[in-house]
Amino acid sequence: MKRLLPGVFGLALLCCGMAVAQAKEPIVLGLHADMSSGSALAGEAIRRGALLAISELNAQGGLLGGRKLELVVRDHHGVPTRATEQLPELASTPHLVALLSGLHGPPVVQNLRFLHEHQLLVVSPWAATTGVVHHQWSPSYTFRVSVNDQQMAEYLIAQALARGHTRLGLILEKTGWGRSNSKAFTEALARRQMAPVAEQWINWADVDGEEQLAAVERSGADALLLAANAPESAAVVRALMRRPADKRLPIYAHGGISGPDFVRQSGALLSQVDLHVVQTFSFIGNPGARAKAVAAKYHALFGTRSEEEIFGPAGTAQAYDAVWLLALAIQKAKSTERARVRDALEHLGPYEGLVRTYQPAFSPSRHEALSPSDYKMATFNPRGVLVLAQPVGTPP
Q: What is the pLDDT of residue 260?
A: 67
Choice between 297 and 4, residue whose per-residue pLDDT is larger: 297
**263 with 139, same domain?**
no
Give the mean model confidence (pLDDT) for residues 31-58.
96
Average confidence score pLDDT of the chain: 92
**104 with 240, same domain?**
no
**143 with 154, same domain?**
no
Q: What is the pLDDT of residue 390?
A: 63
Residue 371 covered by a domain: no
Pick left, alpha or beta for residue 147 (phi over 0 → left; psi -120 to 50 → alpha; otherwise beta). Answer: beta
CATH number, domain at 348? 3.40.50.2300
**217 with 305, same domain?**
no
- Does the pLDDT value for residue 7 go beyond 80? no
Percent over 70 (pLDDT), the chain: 92
**252 with 294, same domain?**
no
Q: Binning pLDDT at 50, 70 and 90, where does residue 393 land?
A: very low
Residue 306 covered by a domain: yes
pLDDT digit string (tens) for 298-327? Answer: 999 999 999 999 999 999 999 999 999 999
Q: Which domain holds residue 128?
A: 18-147+288-365
Q: What residues have CB less than 8 Å from 360, skipping those under 6 apart?
A: 347, 348, 349, 350, 351
Q: What is the pLDDT of residue 383?
A: 87
Name the least confident of 251-255, 314-318, 344-348, 381-385.
381-385
**160 with 264, same domain?**
yes
Nearest to 129 by CA among 176, 82, 199: 176
Q: List residues bridging with 358 in a β-sheet.
A: 351
**383 with 253, same domain?**
yes
**383 with 307, same domain?**
no
Residue 5 covered by a domain: no
CA dist., res. 27 & res. 327, Å (int) = 10
Give the mean model confidence (pLDDT) for residues 369-396.
80
Nearest to 207 by CA among 225, 226, 231: 231
Q: What is the pLDDT of residue 102?
A: 97
Burial environment of residue 19 by CB neighbours within 10 A (0 to 12, 13 to 18, 19 or more): exposed
pLDDT digit string (tens) for 202-235? Answer: 998 888 999 999 999 999 999 999 999 888 999 9
pLDDT digit string (tens) for 325-358? Answer: 999 999 999 999 999 999 999 999 999 999 999 9
Residue 351 covered by a domain: yes
